[in-house]
Each structure stands twice: as C-alpha cells, then as structure tokens.
Amino acid sequence: MIVENNPLLQEFNTLHNTAPFSQIKESHYESAFEQAIQLATQEIDSITQNKAAPSFSNTIEKLDNSGELLGRISSIFFNLNSAETNDEIQRIAREVSPVLSEFSNDITLNESLFKRVKSVYENRAALDLTEEQKTLLEKQYKRFSRNGANLTEIKKLRLREIDSELSKLSLSFGENVLAATNAYEMHLKDDSRLSGLPDSAKEAAAEASKAKHKKGYLFTLDHPSYVPFMTYVDDRLLREELSKAFGAKAYRDEYDNQENVIKITQLRFERAQLLGYKTHAHFVLEERMAKTPEKVNEFSQEILDKAKPAAQKDFNDLQEFAQNFHENPVASLQKWDAAYYSEKLKQRLFSLDDELLRPYFKLENVINGVFEIASRLYGLSFEETNTIEKYHPDVLTYVVKHEDNTLNSIFYADFFPRKGKRNGAWMTSFKNQWHDEDGHNIRPHVSNVCNFTKPTATKPSLLTFNEVTTLFHEFGHALHGMLADTKYRSLSGTSVSWDFVELPSQVLENWCYEKEALEIFAKHYQTNEVIPLEYIEKIKAAANFQEGLQTLRQLSFGMMDINWHGIDPMEIKDVKEHEKKTFDHTDLYPDVETSCMSTAFAHIFQGGYSAGYYSYKWAEVLDADAFELFQENGIFDRNTAKKFKDNVLARGGTEDPLVLYTRFRGSEPKIDALLKRAGLVA
C-alpha cells in the first residue's frame, strides 16, 4: 500500500529535525518500511556494483552510512510499540519484524558485499586507519562472519528461517506479557482491608478505579501500584493474592509464554550451532567484556560465595523479626511477606521509610536535580520546550545545550504508566549521533521512559527513593547518548558491549546517596525545606540494608539467563522445572508453584539481554571502582568528569571497553570496591 505524502519518507521540517508525531498515522508505517527497505537495498547495490577496488571509504564507510532512513523509521515505530502501542501498531510489528529480519539477513548473507568487506579486512595492515576506523572495520567483518556469511547455501537458508521465526516469537512474548499485565485487576469496593497503605497510594488507587468508572480502589500489576501495595498493606491474604498474580504473568493462562520460551531458547541454540558455537551464550559473549559463559559463571560464583552467607543472615534476621512482629507475626516468611517485613525492619533499624522520604522527592525537583548534576559535571544545560512535538501529552521535551550554547541533543522524558506502555524503565533514541558525509556532527534525540507514581488530585508525583535511583540510572544512559562524539553512527553512544553499557547508568546512581547532591534536589514539596541531614545519614546507613539478599536476587537472574542460554536446551520440556534448577541455589524463600519468572522475563526473551543479564552485576564492579575516583577527587570534580566523558561517554564503542575504562581509571577495574560498598567484606 502506497501512502501519498508519507511524512516518514520526507525530510522532517521541524525544529531540530525532530519526529513530527502529529503528522504520522498508523497507515503510514507499512508503506514507509517497504520504501525505506527498497532505498537501503539500492544503497547496498551501489556498494557491490562499484567497479573500483574495495576500500575503506567506498565499502566500509558507505555500508555504515546506508539505511539511515530505515533506521529513523524503525526507531520511531518500535519506540512507540514499547511506550504508546495499540492493537494496530502491534499488528504492524508482527508483519514488519520478520521482513526487517529478512532484510538484515539479505545484507549479512550478501556474498558480493561480504567479499568486498573481507578484502578490506584482509588488507587492513596496509591501511592507515584510526582506532575508530579499525574498530568499525573489525565489527563490520564480524557482523558478516558471525551471522552466516561463510555458511553453505542450505545453512544460510536455515539461518534466515530461524531469524524470521525468532523475531515473531520475541514480539509474541512481549505482547503476552503486556496483555497479562493489563488483564489483571484487584478491585476493592472500600478501604476496609487497606490498613497500612499510605494515603498517596490509596488516592492513586481511587483515581484508577474512577478512571474505569468503578467505585472503590483499583490495584494492578504496574509497579507504581504493585510495589506500595506489597510494601505496606497489612492484609496478608491480599498481599498473597497480588503477589501470586504478579508471579503468574504469562504462565498457565491465556497468555502463556512457556512455549515461546522453549522455542526461543532452542532456536537460539540451533542458530549458534549453525554458526559453529557451542551455545547461544558462547556466541553472544565472544563480543562482550566477559568473553565466555565460563568466565560469567566464575564471576557470578565468586560474588555468590561472598553474598550467600550475608543473604542467609539477612533472611534469618528478617524471619526472626517477622515471627516476633507485635502486630502481624508470621511463623515462616513467604514471598509476599518480603517487602512488607523488610520495610518494617528498615523502619525499626533506621527510622526510615519511603513515605517519610517521598515528600522530599517531588518528580520535578528530581528532574531538575539530575539536570543540575549533569551541568556541574559536564557543562550541559536543559531548557524545557513545548515547540517539539510529543507522542503523548505526558511526555516532556527539552533542548540540551553545551556550555558554548551550541546544541547538544533533544531529550524526551516519559515518566508515567498508562495502557499501551510496557512496564519498567529504559533509555532509547529517536536519532543517533554521528558525523555525516559532509562532516556535520549530527546531534542525537534521546528518550527516557519510566513508570513512576502519577500525580493525584491533591499531590504532585512524589517518588520513592528507589524511583529516584531509577531516574538517575536511566538518565545515566541518556548522558551516554547525549555526550556521544564519534564519527560513525554504528559506534555511537550506547552502541557498546552490553556488559559495559550499564556503567554510565549505574555510576550516576551513586550521586543519589551523596549529601552534596541530595541537597540540590531533595526538598520538601510543600515547605521547600532541604532534606534534613539526619535523613541523608539514614539513607547512607540504609544503603546496604539487606544487600546480601539484593545481591543474591540479582545474581539469580543472571545465572538463570546463562542456564537458559549457556546449555543445550533441546531436551527441556518444563519451563518451571528448569528455572528451579537455578533458584534452588539462590532463593531462600519457599517456591510458589503457580509462579514462573521466565515467562515474563522480557529482558532476556524480548529486550536483547539474552546471555547478558549478568552485565548489571558486572557493571556494578565497574561503577563502584569508577565512583571511588570521584570520591577521592570530589563528586563534582570537573577534571574527573572530563576524563570519564572523554574516555567513556563520548567514545561509545570505538575501542575495546577495557581499554577505554583503563584509560579513564588508570588501571583495570577491581572487584574490591563493590564488595566493600555492598558491605560484603570489611
């Protein structure tokens, strides 16, 4: 279907060339994808049909510059499929994804193109290339060799079939998780069973109920609804009901993902074997800092050995506390007791709880605070504007500038949950940074998407401390995109190893615990009083609260990921049974028969973290080691910030991440800083 005057196929005549969301209709996408693929194909043909000998400029650079229009359309469409989807967008995604997968294979399995790339690669020693050019050349060569360029025609055909099927399965998995999340509601006609729930959460539940034309209170599996409920509601039976609903998402229901999980892991394994790798994890990790699943297992086990005794002590302390809790004692802890009694114990130990802190974390203040921190560190300024189009009224837009007043980037911020928006928090881009063929430094359009507590009729959006750290985390990713300064688009910003990509995000979380930073933005929403020093001291004191349990939980997710992708999964028949093989070593709470995490584990079955979830903990080693330098020199020391920007944030994937990190830090990362920060060693 050809759509005349399709805005997706035209130059965006908007301020800063931003996406004209109001002009884009769902009917535009399929035609746009079709024509953009045709154009990208022509660009590839112009490379392969070039009569001149293959060179870096006429082959490698031309290949990196190809597909710009297709990339722009894909970014807009798939970002909306995550943040503002509907039935029609999901239908288009199902149609388009296998076509895009097929086109990607058309490139990597193009013999004439690979022949030219291989020729340049084999003659690389004779070329006078910069480090960035060497990296681009190596990555392009591996893009072909690691995706079937050296396979026989029969195996290439099978690879295409696998990739097409995987793209469909991944979409189906995500749609099922979203549908299962949206399908569940707990509707209470009055507040007689809501003892303990803070007024802010109660008010939000009342407004959610009203929005559905119901009386009473409505609770969902969205995090801003689910987390306060599980943390504060005294009624254990209600907590159990909600917890079991959350744990059973897309498991043994009409949106069951068990078959998708097994098919995805088996196809990934077959694909890896086809390409000559032992498992999917061996294939993935060859291009990561960790290099092998054996190294990941060794790393995980090293931390597990340190964390498990601490976790067992945390659990025993919590169990004893729960058994002797004067209001609601329990004989043995269940998963639906974890957040509730942990919060009560934290209050007992530190006289600190989220509701005490919430008034000091008004969303607007936290946003301005993270902007101020970015300004002090990197000289950026942020100006909110209404002249840039938005894909939803909730979205905030900012023009970001350097100290010399030149454009740095455009920033979109989308903070509240709604129907059609998946759970969680993430950073993405509508447009990457790179230098075009005329030498212009094209600046990025970066987006943060979160699901925070919404404002109510009587209160602004007041964040929990966990939501504050989430905002800082995602903004750390945003800075990685904003401060990108590379020549080639495919190496820019967050286009780095997945066990390196979490360093900029996780390191920024550290500022949330520092007095000098908290005093910038932690101000009471009614009185403007700066957060009291005693609260700051309590935040720092509580930073390692139940760190053993938290570390064990994070490790368990990474270990389960490797246990899906670092083995031959062909004989796996029962998803839950396989999952338990990991959790039996890491979970101190009794198993819940009706719960299964894998069927809703979007990070590894939809979001690109397969064989890479360990990277969160891996990056914690990097971030603890990196922040130690900031602590030594001052958390707002511009020289340290410049070294971090110049060697990490700006460089993207232009060099080996260990080289970049060592250049910043002066030495390779050590695990000691993490273990010390977590309180796992003295």
Enzyme catalytic residues: 474
- R_g (Cα) of the chain, nearest Å: 25
Instruction: Give the integer Cα–Cα distance in Å for 546 and 186.
Output: 30
**Which 3-state string (H, E, C) describes 366-416?**
HHHHHHHHHHHHHCCEEEECCCCCCCCCCCEEEEEECCCCCEEEEEEEECC
**Contact of 391 with 83, CB cutoff 8 Å:** yes
Q: For 350-367, b where at least 16 C-beta lie within 10 A, e where not — what string?
A: bebbbbebbbbbbbebbb
Instruction: Give the integer Cα–Cα distance in Å for 484 and 124.
Output: 26
Instruction: Give the integer Cα–Cα distance in Å for 216 and 133.
Output: 62
Cα–Cα distances in angstroms (integers) from residue 504 to residues 534, 614, 628, 652, in the given order: 29, 16, 14, 11
Question: How many CA atoms lie less than 13 Å away from 544 in the CB half-sphere?
Answer: 13
N-term to C-term CA, the chain? 66
Q: Which of 205, 224, 178, 207 is nearest to 466 (CA)?
A: 224
**Residue 221 DSSP class:** S
Cα–Cα distances in angstroms (integers) from residue 357 to residues 234, 422, 462, 467, in the given order: 20, 27, 9, 11
Instruction: Give the integer Cα–Cα distance in Å for 541 and 347.
Output: 12
**Contact of 35 with 99, CB cutoff 8 Å:** no
Instruction: Give the integer Cα–Cα distance in Å for 430 and 409.
Output: 11
